[in-house]
């Protein structure tokens, strides 16, 4: 009642319950629900998607070999100088009975040193239970700026192993890299 003093006057309990269910189902609506109906300040950046549900999907044992023979799709986002460059690989995997996503990130060595430990830990290779060592989620390139030649070499290597059915990219810095 303190959060919504007009309850049962101009706002019904049924309406608030309906809004609550909608906010739970679509996390991007949670900030609006909290602000408008619970008198809580909410940071909209936190509410775009449910980060806990996203983290529950993590499987660090997915390797490039899991994409072999599957229709493969990629999305490429390049940066200009100090930000991450990213390639997201996506396919439906019958062996996992779900869609699988594997990000490949590149960052200049000079920029990585400026990042906190939560980012730097992803620049180390991951060993699977079967002893196979997977490449790091973040590939560190030499120098202080983006190494587009290394990125191109890595993408061509992935394509040679498992050809892309489609590769989408952001036009903004695409001139830096032509595949």
Q: 91-110: per-residue pLDDT in tens?
A: 998 888 888 888 888 888 87
Q: 125-170: per-residue pLDDT in tens?
A: 656 566 655 555 678 888 888 888 889 999 999 899 889 999 998 8
Whole-angstrom CA distances from 79 to 41, 87, 93, 129 are: 33, 11, 30, 34
Q: 51-107: per-residue pLDDT in tens?
A: 677 777 777 778 788 888 899 999 999 887 767 889 999 999 888 888 888 888 888
Q: Is the pTM of this model over 0.85?
A: no
């Amino acid at each position: 009642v303190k959060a919504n003093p007009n309850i049962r006057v101009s706002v019904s309990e049924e309406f608030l319950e309906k809004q609550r269910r909608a906010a739970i189902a679509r996390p991007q609506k949670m900030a609006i629900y909290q602000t408008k109906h619970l008198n809580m300040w909410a940071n909209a950046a936190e509410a775009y998607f449910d980060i806990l549900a996203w983290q529950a999907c993590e499987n660090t044992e997915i390797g490039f070999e899991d994409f072999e023979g599957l229709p493969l799709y990629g999305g490429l986002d390049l940066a200009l100088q100090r930000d991450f460059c990213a390639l997201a690989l996506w396919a439906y995997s019958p062996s996992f009975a779900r869609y699988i996503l594997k990000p490949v990130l590149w960052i200049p060595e000079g920029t990585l040193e400026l990042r906190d430990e939560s980012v730097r830990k992803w620049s180390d290779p991951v060993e699977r239970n079967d002893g196979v060592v997977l490449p790091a989620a973040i590939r560190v390139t030499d120098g202080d700026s983006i190494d587009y030649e290394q990125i191109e070499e890595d993408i061509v290597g992935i394509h040679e192993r498992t050809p892309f059915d489609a590769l989408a990219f952001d036009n903004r810095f695409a001139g830096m890299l032509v595949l």
